[in-house]
């Protein structure tokens, strides 16, 4: 059955692949981006395609884009929070403004769009909210404080939102991709810390070499991930989380094992912290 997909960041990278896969599967697509010319060039023209301007950091843009989508197609069945940026660098070297920009795009942005879409889905009593997180939403990593902070925030928000919207027939799905050959690591998408500190010089040089070297060499195929999202969306009961890519599966398994080890290491101490009601009552006497 045809659905209406609303996709943010559809002008390049993974958003283009998701939009193409949704169209190929017979769905209607609202493809959004800050530059509608770029979105149009990436996707071409199609009867079931609507291209709309949307800067996710602007609530007014989100509200206007949702209205345009409903005016054209009558509903929104699947929201894909895909738009993102990457501010890489050591925490001390990142400016407060860079931290704010990261969180504004990768956390507040999806909140703005979801807030605009939810009234439509509540009225329908149906819908799916797919938010593209990262393995950086499962585990923090050196040089990734800003990005991980935004993705951990995204995941906490999505998990809590699920409990709030489930009674309305709305599902939330967190996607944790590993390294996929998208445009996230291009100069257009990746920004580096702006205030160098000498103590970090050697490690920064190594990190910069690694991240710039990863661009175009990632093992994951974004077109296959896009197709996987179509498959997941069509499930009668979609998963709350989808770990995407063999490397992401490996990371998730390491996180699970580490958490279990940390629980076990101090289990006796952790479970000895209950309030002693008998002692408390005796003290009062």
Three-state SS for the chain is CCCEEEECCCCCCHHHHHHHHHHHCCCEEEEEECCHHHHHHHHCCCCCEEEEECCCCCHHHHHHHHHHHHHHHCCCCEEEECCCCEEEECHHHCCHHHHHHHHHHHHHHHHHHHHHHHHHHHHHCCEEEEEECCHHHCCCCCCEHHHHHHHHHHHHHHHHHHHHHHHHCEEEEEEEECCECCCCCCCCCEEECCCCCHHHHHHHHHHHHHHHHHCCCCCECHHHHHHHHHHHHCCCCCCCEEEECHHHHHHHHHHHHHHHHHHHHCHHHHCCCCCCHHHHHHHHC
147 as an active site residue: the answer is yes
| Catalytically annotated residue among 87, 90, 147, 192 | 147
Tell me which residues are annotated as active site.
147
């Amino acid at each position: 059955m045809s659905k209406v997909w609303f996709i943010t960041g559809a002008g390049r990278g993974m958003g283009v692949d998701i939009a193409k896969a949704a169209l190929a599967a017979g769905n209607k697509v609202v493809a959004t981006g800050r530059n509608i010319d770029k979105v149009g060039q990436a996707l071409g023209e199609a009867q079931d395609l609507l291209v709309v301007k949307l800067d996710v950091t602007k609530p007014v843009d989100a509200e206007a884009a949702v209205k345009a989508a409903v005016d054209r197609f009558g509903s929104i069945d699947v929201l894909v929070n895909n738009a993102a940026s990457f501010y890489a660098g050591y925490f001390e070297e990142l400016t407060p403004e860079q931290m704010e920009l990261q969180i504004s795009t990768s956390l507040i942005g999806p909140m703005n769009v979801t807030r605009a879409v939810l009234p439509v889905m509540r009225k329908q009593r149906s819908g799916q909210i797919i938010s593209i997180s990262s393995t950086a939403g499962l585990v923090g990593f050196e040089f990734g404080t800003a990005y991980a902070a935004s993705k951990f925030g995204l995941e906490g928000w999505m998990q809590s939102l699920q409990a709030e919207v489930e009674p309305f027939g709305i599902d939330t799905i967190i996607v944790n991709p590993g390294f996929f050959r998208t445009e996230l690591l291009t100069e257009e998408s990746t920004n580096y810390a702006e205030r160098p500190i000498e103590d970090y010089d050697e490690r920064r040089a190594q990190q910069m070499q690694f991240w710039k070297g990863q661009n175009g060499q990632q093992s994951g195929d974004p077109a296959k991930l896009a197709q996987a999202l179509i498959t997941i969306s069509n499930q009668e009961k979609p998963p709350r989380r989808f770990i995407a890519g063999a490397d992401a599966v490996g990371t998730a398994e390491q996180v699970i094992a580490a958490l279990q080890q940390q629980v076990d290491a101090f289990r006796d101490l952790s479970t000895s912290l209950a309030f002693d009601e008998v002692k408390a009552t005796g003290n009062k006497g």
